[in-house]
Chain A
Amino acid sequence: MGRYLLRRLLQLVPVFIGTTFLIYWLVWAVPGDPFAGKCGERRCPDQYIAFMTEKYHLDQNVFVQYANYMKNLLQGDFGQTFSQREISDIILTSYPNTLKLAVVALAIEAVIGLGAGVLSGLRRNGFLDNLVLVSTLFLIALPVFVVGFVLQWLLGVQWGIIKPTVSSEMRWSELIVPGFVLGSASVAYIARVARTSIAENRRADYVRTAIAKGLPMRRVVGVHLLRNSLIPVVTLLGTDLGALMGGAIVTEGIFGINGIGRQVFRAIITKESATVVGIVVVLVLVYLVMNLLVDLLYAALDPRIRYE
């Protein structure tokens, strides 16, 4: 286990460097004046340009810039925006909001997706199974922004059931609809994976034995079937948490949530390059670590898997 962990961690390093360098290169090193439009309708003052060039090492090539950036990052310094605001500050204020939203989305995914998957997997080709298949197909096909926009308009504007936007306190009750929107496609995937997994294990010998020795159906499903079918679902949920936090740009934009997705979108549009890189670094790190955790969880859930 220890050696496996070490190898995986070592593999993470080049991937992390590659991804962050790619973004760094994209936002900083593309031809064109990095200060164009930064100072309103006029040219930036020379002192400002000189100061910024010095600060971000803009006169050196992109590798040196990146190395300097990484050196600062390892010391916990995310740098500052062009208006001298600490980027770590921005991340710290907005990240909890995104995390909260992602957790709500994950909970909704787990409850609805797993519930639908188990019900339809147990009775394949029944009415419920077909209903689940058709509705998951719809959820997969609907782009997130369409779901978000339609739900916001119907529930928020037309029928007035929810507030169209989420207030800054981020109450849990307000997050249910945005959470559902964020997780809508994943709900469908989880339902399908759970369905296949349950249906496959339903025919397994150990389930037949459990039924044959007279266990009540609830115990057969709840203990024997569910635990063994859960592994692919947990994998999916884990990787999804990493992906949800990077994919919340659209949802956060629609419902006006001050999360990391909205910050990074604003930063990209206003060309706050340092902010973009900083946020992406955090997102990529979270995503990679989540994937690693999921792989480790595998071994814990399924004793047949050994990492040696």
Chain B
Amino acid sequence: MNKLYIFLKYFFIVVWTVFVVAPFLWALTTSFKDFQSVNGGVTYIPWVDFEPNLEGWKVLIKSPAKGGVDIIEPYFNSLFVTCTASLISIILGTLSAYALSRYTFKAGFVKNNDITFFFISQRIMPPIVLSIPFFLFLSSINLLDSLTGLIVVYIVLLMPIAVWIMVDFFNKVPREIDETALIDGCNPYQAFLKVVLPNSIPGLIVAGMFCIIFGWIDFFFAFILTFTEVQLLPVKIVALNSSVTPWWSLSASALVSVAPLIIVAFIVERYLSKGNLSGAIK
């Protein structure tokens, strides 16, 4: 029984690992292949199956004039837009969430839960519905095809996620902790900054991660709201595709675009293993 259990455990771990790692391996090997090796059947081992070359990677940094697709600028555009929009969304979202969790709002029949739902409802609509209003809105304030315009739109898209996660999180932090802080001489702002916020780091990390992921992978709005001046990475990657699919440079660009998310995951994992994420508040 015990042996069967261990066998099954490792069996599923191995299967799952293969499932997760295989696409990465495929992308990695493919990125070093040229046209012939890609079309020459299934090959995996460099130098044995095929002769690796760096063409796929070089294309990514060469300027368009030399037949490349320079992704460096879009890459930093994407990083800048995602990080800025996520940061602002987290700050605004956390503040709104705290207010929604702790204070009672009433405007006619609109109450706290309705306001929270209003935030979430922003994400219920299909993006296509939002695209035209966003387009018209940005064009009326002259922010089409600009980083600022994208940041504004991404804040609208990301803040609901932050609000949603943080309202739920703050609702689980006992009110008595805030009250104790007030009794111990904090004004409401100090109570929030010195007591509630330090105990909400797990929630902040989760909310931040979701914002970064959703911001980073967005293609749709980046595609619709930008043209020539500003380009974001997902749009640029899709633009790589031409009559002959360049699997090698597509694979290379896929790997670079996943890299930041993997780094974020590693940082969060370090926090998790410190053990101060779970059970901070009983």
A and B together in one complex: no
